[in-house]
Amino acid sequence: MIIVMKSGSTQEQVEAVERKLRDLGFQTHPIYGEVKTVIGAVGDKRLVKPHSIIHMDGVENIVPIMSPYKLVGRELISEDTIIDVDGVPIGGKELAVMAGPCAVESEEQLMEAAVKIKETGAKILRGGAFKPRTSPYSFQGLEEEGLKLLAQVGKETGLKIVTEVVDTRDVELVSQYADILQIGARSMQNFRLLSECGKADKPVLLKRGLSATIEEWLMAAEYILSAGNPNVILCERGIRTFETATRNTLDINAIPVVKERSHLPIIVDPSHATGNWRWVEAAAKASIAAGADGLMIEVHPDPSSATSDGQQSLKPEKFVELIKALKPIAQAVNRTI
């Protein structure tokens, strides 16, 4: 880490900062410029509380050098991680496709979607039993009843199940039914939930928060890994920006950036990232072309009667066409779908 001293800071101030740094276990290397002095501090950033220094007289700013994550970074594990979801790999040559309705509504609805999804070769069924909704007056999900339907349809079709957990109290329950625990965008910094999922024995799909930087997202994954669960799948689902034409802004750049910084697989949710089924195809193609390891897509047999997010859901027949359209793109980047 680098401590930048103010213009006009005194020799005494520089020395006081150096003493403090050495007390904290750092080696110090002051560099005297014409206008400003900076102090290089060598040691493990993760041990330090920078405000113990930022408040000292003459200090202007502190610049961290090391990335704050360890387990999710490429420094310890340089190879790409492939996560094994009960026989289905995520992160390898084959792209992972997760599809299904936003919310589980009934056995019929779920089964109808699942059968079509299965036909395309996709291997993972999504569906929400616990729904985080902006309004308390909106449908909040079928809860355990929904989990049971998911497990049942999963069993009958052979599809793996990914479903969201929104409360620390439900992690055990959801783990009994799901193959992958999903942590939603609004829970990305629910650190207790991250820790609980870190203790679970199921892989975790971690969606990026609406306004989370890539670094914060990787730190959220670090919570899960540091609690003991190495199986985290990152999911880019669009960020919040000033643009109002789309529900969110798909941060396609995040794919190469995450790939460079982390060994974890990353998939994209083009349904939330656009907010409109008409734009899902373009976003899905872009994601695969950019190097995503898979997709999570909302599919509903009757979007116009959906209890949630109908506007961005594909009808099953559109989903079948989408997967067809994605095949040549996957091939072009040496992947299969």
Rounded to a whole number of angstroms, the minimum distance from the CB of residue 151 to its own copies is 22
- Side chain identity at residue 248, one-letter code: N
Convert residues 176-195 into a mask of x (bound to its own copies by CB under 8 A) and - (unbound): ----------xx-xxxx-xx
Q: Is 333 in the site for its own copies (CB under 8 A)?
A: yes
Given 10, 52, 176, 336, the residue binding its own copies (CB under 8 A): 52
Helix (H) / strand (E) containing 177: helix 171-177
d(CA 276, CA 310): 9
Q: Which is nearer to its own copies, 61 or 86 (CB)?
A: 61
Interaction of residue 10 with its own copies, rule CB under 8 A: no
Instruction: Classify strands 37-42 and 83-85 as parallel, antiparallel or unpaired.
Output: unpaired
Q: Which stretch binds its own copies (CB under 8 A): 82-90, 118-126, 151-159, 166-174?
A: 166-174
- Report the relative pairing of strands 59-63 and 2-5 from DSSP bridges: antiparallel
Answer for which of 125, 303, 316, 337 binds its own copies (CB under 8 A) is 303
Q: Is 44 in the site for its own copies (CB under 8 A)?
A: yes
Pick between residue 53 and residue 85 the one whose CB is nearest to its own copies: 53
Per CB under 8 A, the segment of 48-56, 84-92, 112-120, 173-181 that binds its own copies is 48-56
In the complex, what is the shortest distance from the CB of residue 47 to its own copies, in angstroms, rounded to a whole number?
Answer: 8
Half-sphere exposure of 279 (CA within 13 A, CB side): 17
Give the tokens for residue 85: 């979801």
Token pair of 133, please? Answer: 């909704």
Q: Of these, 273, 295, 297, 299, which contacts its own copies (CB under 8 A)?
A: 273
Question: Crossing angle for the helix pair 254-261 and 277-290, nearest 10 degrees?
Answer: 40
Rule CB under 8 A: choose which of 12, 75, 86, 119 binds its own copies.
75
Tell me how far, at minimum, the Cβ of 113 lies from its own copies, in Å. 15
Angle at 239 between CA 233 and CA 243, to 5 degrees: 155
Q: Supply the minimum distance, in Å, between the C-beta of residue 191 and its own copies.
A: 5
Helices 214-226 and 254-261: angle between axes, nearest 10 degrees: 40
Contacts of residue 94, Cβ cutoff 8 Å, sequence gap at least 6: 335, 336, 337
Q: Rg (Cα) of the chain, in Å, rounded?
A: 23
Report the site for its own copies in 211-230 (rule: CB under 8 A): 211, 213-216, 219, 222-223, 226-227
| Cβ–Cβ under 8 Å, residues 90 and 293 | yes
Instruction: Say if CB 291 and CB 265 are below 8 A apart.
Output: no
Q: Which stretch binds its own copies (CB under 8 A): 90-98, 107-115, 118-126, 285-293?
A: 285-293
Closer to its own copies by CB, 22 or 46: give it. 46
Q: Which of residues 98-157 bind its own copies (CB under 8 A)?
A: 132-137, 140
What is the C-alpha to C-alpha distance for residues 296 and 126, in angstroms, rounded to an integer? 8
Binding its own copies (rule: CB under 8 A), the pick from 25, 68, 121, 158 is 68
Closest CB to its own copies among residues 111, 257: 257
**Residue 315 CB, nearest approach to its own copies (Å):** 9
